A and B are shown apart, each in its own frame.
Chain A
Amino acid sequence: MIQPAATDLITVNIDGKEIAVPKGTNVIEAARRVDVDVPFYCYHPKLAIVGNCRMCLVEMGMPAVDPATKAPVMDPATGRQRINWSPRPTIACATNVSPGLHIRTTTPMVKECREGVMEFLLINHPLDCPICDQAGECKLQEQSTGYGRGYSRFIEQKNVKPKRTLLGPRVMLDDERCILCSRCVRFSKDIAKDDVLGFTDRGSYTTLTCYPGRRLENNYSLNTVDICPVGALTSTDFRFKMRVWFLKQTNSIDTESSAGANTVVWSREGAIYRITPRQHDGVNDTWMADSGRVLYKQVRDPGRLVSVRVAGAESAVEFALRAASELFAKGGVAVVGSGRSSVEEQFLTRRLADAAKAGTWLVSRVGMGDGLLISADRNPNVRGALVTGLIAALPSPTLDSLGAEIDSGAVRTVVSVGEDLEAAGLTAAQLARVAVIYLGTHADATSAAARIVIPTLTVFEKHGTLVNQQFRIQRFFKAVPGIVGATDDLTVLAGLVAAAGGRSMGTDVGTLWPAIAAGVPALATMDFGNIPDSGLLIDGAPWAGLPFAEGPALHFKPTAQQEAARG
């Protein structure tokens, strides 16, 4: 007999295995915990439950009690309480655990239910897996292998539906492949708050479409492609580009804002093909913005900086560092760090500023937050700059104070870590008055004006950590090798620290982290290797009074103090 569980845990029995799960857990999730697979299509842990695919049908039973006395009815054969099994199968997704609930997923009835649903889903499905982008990550493929009959009894004509409907700029729909699970409809309505998708016609002729005059073009539209269990919704960017089983998956972080959505970068032979969200229930659930998915295009952008230049001539890193050392020796150095740099880079930038006795600046990028996963602060790592001590106060959008110091002649050398100084408000005349040492990935006005240019790597070509709006430090990993001609940021920064007369520092995350842990109190217990995939929360109390730009969003709520400071 099931023992009563303490607190709000509820003990259930799934295929003979007992497990205590929190109240409100549904049977699919409870079964997952005891390694029992309950197949499903329409269910999604982050969406409303509709129970329409019927794939998760299971047998349900409750312990028998005498109707009159409420006393348990025992089964003399087993000595346990008898279970009254429901004669009809029940959907696991909409069945929440209740005390004593028994579930069977291996009975002939359940097997037959799954075979039936699989057969029904496939009779009008085009079965065009060889040319379908979903192949390899298709629930219909996986579950027909796992739970289907393996042959067809259907000899009629399949339904004909639209094959190529462009729902929006990034999403293509093949209605014949659609199994009408309504995940995309629910996502658009409930998560993206852009109610554009719906069904027309009825029965087996039901067709997914946009409302008349509307398009699926919100910045979260590609999540519908992610959650589509079949190949009905495909990304116009990824469509027909690569078979998913060839792709290597690398965990990364979306760098377009301080929300810090967890992502997976899919690459093959040094080329990135797509970026998809990675589930993090405390950050981005299972979502990410469309805008973050195209960031990989910067890797092979024609504007990439690929050669070290000193005073306009092609050079090498060691000569560039020597030239920098000469500039540092003259004094009057300013360091413009970046809220886009990793924690490690910001730590070294701080060391560089200390060694060169330079003041530090940061450029803020504040826009409108979307309340979901694009926060108002478009720098992914301003909090990292605070934590590492690179800056003490929030940055401003322009470098006016630096401009004044240039005008006064106090600053004669400016190190810019990836920031376009002209875009940040310095004039061409001001840039002409100083020697600029520019570390960056792409050509811009500053790289053109700089005395020394050292190409560095994009976020996809290196390891590192970022601190998001929740003060959660999260790791990103190198997905593809760095482009030829560029040098890892840490190597360059460590070289500059040495060039400015500072202590020799590690040039990769592994060797650098002991120094970071020793030098940054908030990170004292951490090491790159021991930060889990879900990140670690840093105590943000020392910075709680700062007027951060971020407003309320998914899994983020500014403190009252911050709300007040933002006005």
Chain B
Amino acid sequence: MPAPEQHRLIFKHIGADGYTNDLACYQRNGGYEVLKKAVLRKPEDLMDEVKKSGLRGRGGAGFSCGVKWSLVDRKSGKPIYLVVNADESEPGTFKDRYIIYQDPHQLIEGIMISCFANRVERAFIYIRGEFPDGARILERAIAEARAAGFAGPNVLGTGYGCEVYVHRGAGAYICGEETGLIESLEGKRPYPRIKPPYFPAVLGLYMCPTIVNNVETLCHVKHIADMGGEAYSRIGTPGNTGTRILCVSGHVRRPGYYEFEVGRVTLGQLLNEVCGGPLPGRTFKAVIPGGSSAKVLRFGERYKGKRKVGAEMVEYDWGVEDIPMDFDSLAMIGSMGGSGGVIVMDDSVSMVEALGNINAFYSHESCGQCTPCREGSLWMKKITARMVRGEARPEDGALLKSVADQIAGRTICAFGEACAWPTQSFIAKFGEEFKGYAQARRTPRPDGVPELV
């Protein structure tokens, strides 16, 4: 089956010739028209549209945006804050960056519609420290939007006011975790908060109800407000509506970002057709489908079970190539859609070395607040680093798995899973490679195969 065409909703203009990130260009292409209509509607109606749209968060967890908004404590009398999570740090993910750099006004329009819908008067864009240009672009765009009356004290003459601020992180992966982000925004170390009791919807920024949404999610809100929740929900597949940007990196001929209707493209179509397949003379070995913390998939393995299609249960028997790229399918086969970062590895890759690289990242980024993640992530890194250094033991794979098992599910935030899942899945699927690594290291590599680590 040939791959479907891309459906470019968010990335409609991104990468297009002559498209610039200033207000005039955005308005020439229909910018802020949705906001103009939205502010004439009742906020509740907009929230309803988002609920009806079935939009799921694009940051990683895929949580329903409508439900997230409905959980916000609106009776406390405290202000409600909107925090835009632009701390895009998951290795393999580079979608929000393109939105911010190339189409910042789309994000600001999405923010303003979301703020209006939730009666938010202060929004904060928390942008990762490694995006200094992005922060400057956003600040300029906010100034432009403010001058044109699309943001600020009196939005489009309606009397509704909302200020948008840009806050730069200082370079820490954990700031992408929503409660860590909130702590950082408050000027503290980004130690994620314990939940309960600190659910952002009730006790978020400055202990006020807070909505934390991903950049891409908020851009989708603009399109939902534009076409209506019903129409939006018909894009994609049931339960996995809309479009989603897939960032493909690694050993394919055409890595890059591709926007598809959720679930309409399979991993095989994406890698083999859209991205041009493996590099010459190579074959695919493994793929991480949703950012480096997602569990790895091994080419050649089969996933069997029953899934719901419409009202009935249908048996499925998929290879990696057959998996539809949507939240539910990827969760069903034991991985996740995550942040949409698809990392491809071909047969030149040593899985031990690849895991060593991932472990080095997570041990460096563990905030250090709670014990299992703090100690476990570094321990795993030390083991894989030692293996790569040439002192591997056959039992190291089992030890790695055991350490990872002691982390997942026992930490304050989801970082525990993020750092344990790669190890767990690498060992589960490439266990033999870990066992034989001590031996394999002594075998010379084939000519022309680059060192990865």
Q: Which residues of A contact B (CB under 8 A)?
A: 49-55, 57, 88-89, 91, 94, 112-113, 116-117, 119-121, 123-124, 153-154, 156-157, 159, 179-180, 198-199, 201-206
Interface centre among B364, B375, B383 (most CB of A within 10 A): B375
Q: Is the CB of A123 within 8 A of B367?
A: no
Contacts of B364-413 to chain A: CB distance below 8 A? 364-372, 374-379, 382-383, 386, 399, 402, 406-407, 409-412
The answer on a CB contact under 8 Å between B377 and A54 is no
Knowing A89-B410, A116-B372, say if A51 contacts B366 (CB, 8 Å).
Answer: no
Q: A156-B383, A202-B172, A203-B363 are in contact. Are A121 and B375 (CB under 8 A)?
A: yes
What residues of chain A lie closer than 8 Å to B411, measured between beta carbons? 54
Q: Which residues of B contact A154 (CB under 8 A)?
A: 379
Question: What is the CB-to-nearest-CB distance from B318 to chain A, in angstroms, rounded to a whole number?
Answer: 26
Q: In the complex, what residues of A have CB within 8 A of residue B409's CB?
A: 88-89
Known: A89-B409, A119-B406, A123-B379. A202 touches B386 (CB 8 A): no
Contact B369–A52 (Cβ < 8 Å): yes
> Which among B369, B371, B379, B402 is the interface contact of A117 at CB below 8 angstroms?
B371
B189 contacts partner chain A, Cβ-Cβ < 8 Å: yes
B373 to chain A, nearest CB (A): 8
B374 lies within 8 A of A180 (CB): yes
Name which residue of chain B comes closest to A41, CB basis.
Answer: B371
4 closest A-B pairs by CB: A116-B406, A206-B368, A120-B375, A156-B382
Complex alpha-carbon distance, A113 and B379, angstroms: 17
Specify which of B191, B371, B376, B378 lies most central, judged by the most chain A CB atoms within 10 Å of its CB: B371
Indicate the member of B364, B407, B409 with the most A CB atoms within 10 Å: B409
Given contacts A203-B378, A204-B368, whether A57 and B410 have CB atoms under 8 Å apart is yes
Q: List 19 extra interface pairs beyond A124-B375, A156-B383, CB under 8 A.
A: A50-B194, A50-B369, A51-B194, A54-B371, A88-B410, A94-B197, A113-B410, A116-B410, A120-B406, A121-B371, A124-B378, A153-B399, A154-B379, A156-B379, A156-B382, A202-B365, A202-B366, A203-B367, A206-B374
Q: Out of A52, A112, A159, which one reaches B371, CB within 8 Å? A: A52
Write the chain B residue with the least CB distance to A121: B371
Structural contact, A199 and B399, CB atoms closer than 8 A: no
Nearest-neighbour CB distance to chain A for B365, whole angstroms, equals 7
Set of chain A residues within 8 Å of B382, measured between Cβ atoms:
156-157
Instruction: Give the docked Cα–Cα distance between A49 and B372 (Å).
Output: 18
A205 contact set on B, CB distance < 8 A: 368, 378
Tell me which residues across on chain B come within 8 A of A55, comparing CB atoms. Answer: 371
In whole angstroms, how far apart are the Cα atoms of A113 and B411 in the complex? Answer: 11
For residue B196, CB closer than 8 A to chain A, the reply is yes
- Report the minimal beta-carbon distance from A149 to chain B, rounded to whole angstroms: 11
Bound Cα distance from A171 to B365, whole angstroms? 31
Given contacts A203-B364, A203-B377, contact A120 B372 (CB under 8 A): yes
**Distance to closest chain B CB from A203 (angstroms):** 4
CB distance from A475 to the nearest CB of B (A): 41
Q: Which B residues touch A116, using CB under 8 A?
A: 372, 406-407, 410
CB proximity of A155 to chain B, nearest CB, Å = 8
Nearest opposing residue in chain B for A154, CB measure:
B379
Residue count of chain B within 8 Å CB distance of chain A = 33
B109 vs chain A, min Cβ distance (A) = 36
A121 to B376 Cα, complex, angstroms: 10
Contacts of A52 in B (CB 8 A): 191, 369-371, 412
Expressed in whole angstroms, the Cα–Cα distance for A55 and B370 within the complex equals: 10
Q: A51-B194, A123-B379 are in contact. Are A203 and B410 (CB under 8 A)?
A: no
In contact, A117 and B372 (Cβ under 8 angstroms): yes
Q: Is the CB of A94 within 8 A of B367?
A: no
A residues in contact with B412, CB < 8 Å? 51-52
Question: Are the CB atoms of A202 and B368 closer together than 8 Å?
Answer: yes
Residues on A with C-beta less than 8 A from B363 are 203-204
A204 near B172 (CB under 8 angstroms)?
no
Cβ-closest chain B residue relative to A94: B194
| A120 interface neighbour in B196, B376, B383, B386, Cβ under 8 Å | B376
**How far is the CB of B177 from the nearest CB of chain A, in Å?**
13
Interface residues of B in 389-445 (CB under 8 A from A): 399, 402, 406-407, 409-412
Give the distance in Å from the alpha carbon of A50 to the alpha carbon of B197 in the complex.
11
B438 CB to nearest A CB, Å = 14
Chain A residues whose C-beta falls within 8 Å of the C-beta of B368 in the assembled complex: 180, 199, 201-206
* Shortest Cβ gap from B256 to chain A (Å): 32
Task: Give residues of chain B (279-299) contacting chain A, Cβ–Cβ below 8 Å.
Answer: none
Please, which residues of chain A bring their CB within 8 A of the CB of B370? 51-54
A120: nearest chain-B partner, CB-CB: B375
A436 to chain B, nearest CB (A): 61
Please tell me if the beta carbons of A54 and B410 are within 8 angstroms of each other in the complex: yes
CA A116 to CA B370, docked complex, whole Å: 13
A123 to B375, CA, bound (A): 8
Name the CB-closest residue of B to A95: B196
With both beta carbons as reference points, the residue of chain A lying nearest to B174 in the complex is identified as A202
Would you give 5 A-B contacts (Cβ < 8 Å), ordered by A? A123-B379, A153-B399, A202-B365, A203-B364, A203-B368
B442 to chain A, nearest CB (A): 21
Q: Please report the C-alpha to C-alpha distance between residue A233 and residue B376 in the assembled complex, in whole angstroms.
A: 24
Question: Are the C-beta atoms of A199 and B189 separated by less than 8 Å?
Answer: yes
CA distance A94 to B194 in the complex (A): 8
A180's closest neighbor in chain B, by CB? B368
- Give CA–CA (A484, B369) in the complex, Å: 54
A107 to B55, CA, bound (A): 40
Contacts of A153 in B (CB 8 A): 399, 402
Residue of chain B at shortest CB distance from A88: B409
> Is A202 touching B410 in the complex (CB atoms < 8 A)?
no
Q: How far is the CB of A201 from chain B (nearest CB, A)?
A: 8
Which A residues lie within 8 Å of B197 (CB)? Answer: 94
Residue of B nearest to A153 (CB): B399
The smallest C-beta distance from B356 to any residue of chain A, in angstroms, reads: 13
Would you list which residues of chain B between 250 and 306 have a CB under 8 Å from chain A?
A: none
Name, among A55, A179, A198, A202, the residue most crowded by chain B CB atoms within 10 Å (CB to CB): A202
Q: Which residues of B lie under 8 Å from residue A204 when comparing CB positions?
A: 363, 366, 368, 374-375, 377-378
Instruction: Establish whether residues A91 and B194, one from each chain, have CB atoms under 8 Å apart when the complex forms.
Output: yes
Nearest CB in chain A: distance from B120 CB, A: 29
* A201 and B367 alpha carbons, distance in the complex (Å): 9
Contacts of B196 in A (CB 8 A): 94
Residue of B with least CB distance to A93: B194
With the chains together, A154 CA to B172 CA distance in Å? 28
User: Roughly how many angstroms separate A91 CA and B193 CA in the complex, as a whole number?
Assistant: 13
Query: Contact: B194 with A120, CB < 8 Å?
Result: no
Whole-angstrom distance between the Cβ of B202 and the nearest chain A Cβ: 15
For B382, give the chain A residue with the smallest CB separation.
A156
